[in-house]
Copies of this chain bind each other. A is one copy, B any other.
Amino acid sequence: MATKYERAANDLRRRIRSGEWGPGEQLPAETTLAAHYGVNVTTLRNAIRVLKVEGLVESIHGKGNFVRAPRTLIERSPERYQWEKDRARLSEAERIGTGATEKDTGLRFEDLEFYAKYDDIVATNELSEVFGVPLGTKMLRRTFRTSSRHEDAPISLVTSYLVHAVVARNPALLDERNEPWPGGTQSQLWTIGIEVGSITDRIRTRPPSADEAEDLGIDPEGVATFVLQKISKDTEGQVVEVSTVVLPGDRTEFVNTTKLTPWETK
């Protein structure tokens, strides 16, 4: 025999799935539901919490509980990297307004809002290891967030690391006011003679911290985040950039197509 709140949650889940309340619609008030299931309001709230954790329901303080509506997905595929490379050496006019983010989101440059902040840090254990530089090496840390003008919440939170002495070869790369740089990081690296040869993505998922949930405009209960660690190497295999991207799990989809080599006909 399940608990009271589980029984209420199961019934509410069934009713939502059956379409009794469609996406975006409001559920009856908690007091009403509590009376209907013959339980205390606190107990009914436990049932609602279960559905929130499952991502089925969203609460808005002062308004009510709502059936969560699916969000439009942003596809992200590793093809973006080759695409970016092909454009890295084009003229600025050709690069402008056609970044990888626009490609992912299908939004135009004018619809996107960028924020960039640069600062200097010293290499931690982890950074010195991936870059193969001594502990304490001066690094450039770049923090980006990209938002759609029509949604108030950022689409991604990016932290990028570069070896300071390397990027300093072009002083323009040390100034955050030059962001968004047309053509992106690969174009920036090209100005200091670096050609990116391969990029490795590592994708994990975890719940958002309180801050991230705030920044991404997601419900900490019920929506997870993707954490993408991207490591770029030059053509010699030397790590040239490492970045960490936090993406809202309710709006992001990674797509990857693998072409398999044909069998020899026999």
Point out residues on A near B: beta carbons under 8 Å: 50, 53-55, 73, 78, 81-82, 85, 89, 195-210, 220-226, 235, 249-250, 252-263
Set B55, B73, B204: member contacting A207, Cβ < 8 A: B55
Contact A224 B206 (CB under 8 A): yes
Among B78, B208, B210, B253, contact of A258 (Cβ-Cβ < 8 Å): B78
User: Which residues from chain B contact A85 at a C-beta distance below 8 Å?
Assistant: 260-261, 263
Q: Tell whether A198 pairs with B81 under 8 Å between CB atoms, given A89-B263, A224-B207.
A: no
The answer for the CA separation of A224 and B224 in the assembled complex, in Å, is 6
Query: Looking across the interface, which residue of chain B has its beta carbon closest to that of A266?
Result: B89
**In the complex, which residues of chain B have a beta carbon less than 8 angstroms from the beta carbon of A207?**
53-55, 222-224
Given contacts A81-B258, A199-B258, A259-B197, contact A206 B253 (CB under 8 A): no
Cβ–Cβ contact A209 & B255, under 8 A: no
Assembled-state Cα–Cα distance A259/B198 (Å): 4
Residues on B with C-beta less than 8 A from A208 are 54
Which chain B residue has the least Cβ–Cβ distance from A220?
Answer: B53
Q: State the main secondary structure of chain A at its contact with B.
A: mixed
- 10 closest Cβ contacts across the A-B interface? A224-B224, A205-B249, A203-B254, A205-B205, A78-B258, A200-B257, A205-B224, A55-B207, A201-B256, A198-B259
A260 to B189, CA, bound (A): 15
Q: What is the copy number of this chain in the assembly? A: 2
> How far is B85's CA from A262's CA once the two chains are assembled, in angstroms?
9
- B73, B204, B260: the one contacting A249 at CB < 8 Å is B204
CB–CB A261/B54 < 8 A? no
Contact of A198 among B204, B253, B257 (CB under 8 A): B257
Instruction: Name the CB-closest residue of B to A250.
Output: B206
In the bound complex, CA of A220 to CA of B208 (Å):
14
A254: contacting residue among B50, B81, B254, B259, CB under 8 A = B254
Cβ–Cβ contact A82 & B256, under 8 A: no
Chain B's nearest CB lies how many Å from the CB of A117?
Answer: 23
Q: How far is the CA of A210 from the CA of B205 in the complex (A)?
A: 18
A159 nearest CB across to chain B (Å) = 18
CA distance A144 to B233 in the complex (A): 38
**A78 and B202 in contact (CB under 8 A), knowing A53-B220, A207-B222, A222-B207?**
no
Q: Closest CB-CB distance, A186 to chain B, in whole Å? A: 9
A78 to B249 CA separation, bound complex (whole angstroms): 21
Contact A195 B263 (CB under 8 A): yes
